[in-house]
Amino acid sequence: PAPVLPHEDTPRWLSRDARPLFWVGSDGKMHELVIRDVVCEPPDVVWENLGTEVPRLVVGHIVAGLTIIGSFVAMTLVIFVPLASYSINYMLQAGSLPTGIMMSVMGSLVMAGNWVMCQVHSKVSSFVGFVRRDREGLLLFKVFAVLCLVNFLFNVSIALFPDSQAHALRYVLHP
């Protein structure tokens, strides 16, 4: 027999005398399926992680978890605590929250910290050993959602709780 070319309708692994396959459409009609070789690779597969052994995956998940938790702790200690301390001390001394250029600089610092954390989390997610890129993306989405929530709660706590609990409740009830 003649050699099968890559774009020929019947692939080598499918016998030529096999019964045809049919698919029933939503309209109830039967349609014959044609099987052929695909000339491209799926873009969503991380080929270098295929066949990774379970102990390596476990280590990857543990390292990623510790790195992500460590990055949150580092951001809290390096950015949030000093920013909260500055804002509360400023409020106690000046009687109002800092505004203008200083808050713009602090906001830029928080944004830069978020960007660095996203870069770290991106590297960590590729270290875990996921076989599919959408799983990496799902990890990044979840971690970034938590990061946004932490940022939001931090900003709310700074805005609401510098004085006292009564001040916070009054602000929430009557903006």
Q: In this predicted model, which residue has the larger pLDDT, 3 or 133?
A: 133
What pLDDT digit, counting tens, does each position of 109-132 carry?
Answer: 888 988 998 899 988 988 898 999
- Percent of the chain at pLDDT > 90 equals 21
Answer whether residue 67 shows pLDDT above 90. yes
Q: What is the pLDDT of residue 68?
A: 92
**How many Cα neighbours within 13 Å face the side chain of 155?**
10
Q: Among the listed ranges 28-42, 143-157, 160-174, which one has the minimum average pLDDT value?
A: 160-174
CA 2 to chain centre: 50
Q: Distance between CA 3 and CA 14 in Å, rounded?
A: 13
Checking if the pLDDT of 26 tops 70, the result is yes
Amino acid at 164: S
Give me the mean pLDDT over the 57-74 stretch: 93
Closest listed residue to residue 106, CA positions, set 78, 134, 139: 78
Spatial neighbors of 64 by CB under 8 A, at least 6 apart, are 124, 125, 127, 128, 139
pTM, whole model, 2 decimals? 0.63
The pLDDT assigned to 4 comes to 47
Residue 166 in this model has a pLDDT that exceeds 70: no
